């Protein structure tokens, strides 16, 4: 049986295990390439910092969930990357009745789900180097869909960096649908906003969700797009780091970074849907909260 036939059979039966496995393999391979590139940057800066990898299993009320899955938290603290986490998880189980009401396609009578994805947040030592967030994921309930994106979060913005970051994502989007970039850019602008501060979290990027896989062709198309989103990140972000990591900075620059980090923490703790999903589904607390900066300031 061909790959396309296997995908079509899975769609007809509502069994997404093969597709989930393919997505997981891709997310793990992307993680490995990203981590290798970040470690190479540390070497260029004269640092021997490397990622440590900590596996975890899904729990509920402090007890392991049978066949609940888990993930691996990758964490590095170095000379360039003050704190960077690159996590991959693959979990499954059932949503609580209340949480199921908020999830796309969840069946109140049978709120089963699977989810696999990669999540990355980097907080940088030099305030001239932009922090960044990226994630892509594949979820199934009664429906199956891809989501994700990436956004740049510079304490000290540079127009050149912003333009290059957006250009990389635009190119990835334009390969698949010319309507994607303006739609997903606007979605990121709306989503990565801190209402109580009336400011955006950073300079944006793209955000997408519920790219549904009604059949095998839709799965293949949306999976291809999601892979290109990951490639776009790998193509542009290390270049931005190398562009800025050797710049001198002042105490005032560092204070600006710490104040900005406070706003980043506020968004992730109050508004971020990924944080809520992880907490509601028994994810690893350290992996969920790895997005928080190592230091922040409120005045």
What end-to-end distance do the CA atoms of the chain give, in Å? 63
d(C-alpha 244, C-alpha 257), whole Å: 14
Query: To which residue do tokens 């549904």 refer?
Result: 212
Phi-psi map region of 176: left, alpha, beta (phi>0 left; psi -120 to 50 alpha): alpha
Backbone angles phi, psi at 146, to 5 degrees: -105, 155
d(C-alpha 225, C-alpha 45), whole Å: 33
Q: Where are the beta strands (DSSP E) in 81-226?
A: 81-94, 112-124, 131-140, 144-153, 193-194, 199-200, 204-212
CA–CA–CA angle 94, 220, 186 (5° rounding): 80
Q: What is the largest CA-CA distance in the chain?
A: 63
Identify whether 133 is a catalytic site residue: yes
Q: Residues 123, 128, 133, 200: which is the catalytic one?
A: 133
Active site residues per annotation: 133
């Amino acid at each position: 049986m061909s790959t396309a036939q296997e995908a079509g059979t899975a769609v007809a039966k509502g069994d997404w295990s093969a597709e989930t496995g393919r997505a997981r393999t891709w997310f793990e391979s992307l993680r490995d390439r990203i981590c290798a590139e970040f470690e190479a940057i540390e070497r260029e800066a004269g640092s021997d910092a490397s990622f440590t990898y900590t596996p975890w299993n899904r729990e509920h009320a402090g007890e392991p969930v049978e066949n609940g899955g888990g993930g691996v938290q990758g964490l590095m603290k170095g000379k360039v990357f003050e704190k960077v986490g690159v996590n991959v998880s693959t979990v499954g189980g059932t949503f609580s009745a209340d949480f199921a009401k908020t999830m796309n396609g969840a069946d109140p009578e049978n709120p089963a789900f699977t989810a696999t994805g990669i999540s990355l947040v980097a907080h940088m030592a030099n305030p001239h180097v932009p922090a960044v967030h990226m994630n892509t994921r594949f979820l199934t309930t009664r429906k199956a869909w891809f989501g994700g994106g990436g956004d740049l979060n510079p304490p000290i913005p540079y127009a050149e960096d912003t333009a290059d970051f957006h250009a990389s994502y635009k190119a990835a989007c334009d390969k698949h649908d010319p309507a994607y970039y303006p739609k997903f850019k606007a979605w990121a602008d709306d989503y990565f906003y801190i209402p109580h501060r009336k400011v955006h979290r950073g300079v944006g990027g793209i955000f997408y969700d519920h790219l549904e896989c009604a059949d095998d062709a839709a799965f293949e198309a949306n999976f291809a797009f999601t892979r290109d989103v990951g490639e776009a990140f790998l193509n542009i972000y290390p270049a931005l780091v190398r562009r800025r990591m050797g710049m001198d900075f002042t105490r005032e620059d560092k204070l600006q970074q710490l104040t900005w980090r406070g706003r980043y923490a506020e968004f992730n703790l109050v508004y971020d849907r990924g944080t809520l999903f992880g907490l509601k589904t028994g994810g690893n607390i350290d992996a969920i909260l790895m997005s928080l900066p190592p230091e922040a300031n409120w005045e």
